[in-house]
Amino acid sequence: MTNGSPSRQINDGVLERPKPKTTTPKLYNVVLINDNYTTMEFVVTVIEQIFQKNPAEAFQLMMQVHTAGRAICGIYTYEIAETKVHSVTELASAEGFPLQATIEDDPRVQE
């Protein structure tokens, strides 16, 4: 029986739900900035305590801060990076040092 309309087929298959897409969160660098007042020993302590680096890594990063003026101490999601910067500022302030940390986009991560 044809009446000029296209035939429809009923599919007895199971409908699949589309799988949700997962995305990797964007990462940010936490950078320590050199100043002329914060002691090298304190910077090493900050790197060990806040960024959980071993003494050798902490010393190497401190030297990079001292000689290059800055060093990336860790790469984190934004919320964790924000917490690390706040922790550095609070600890430095409590000890009377002007040590600063900043958050920067991680250039290795493509959007």
Q: Where are the domains of the chain?
A: 36-64+77-97
Phi-psi map region of 52: left, alpha, beta (phi>0 left; psi -120 to 50 alpha): left
Q: Which fold has domain 36-64+77-97?
A: Ribosomal Protein L30; Chain: A, (3.30.1390)
pLDDT at 4 over 90: no
Query: What's the pLDDT tens digit per position in 74-97?
Result: 999 999 999 999 999 999 999 999
Nearest to 75 by CA among 91, 63, 61, 92: 61
Structure tokens given for 17:
């739900």
Question: Which of 25, 49, 83, 109 has its CA nearest to residue 101?
Answer: 83
pTM attached to this predicted model: 0.77
Q: Is the pLDDT of residue 19 over 90?
A: no
* Sheet with 27-33, edge to edge strand ranges: 70-77, 27-33, 100-105
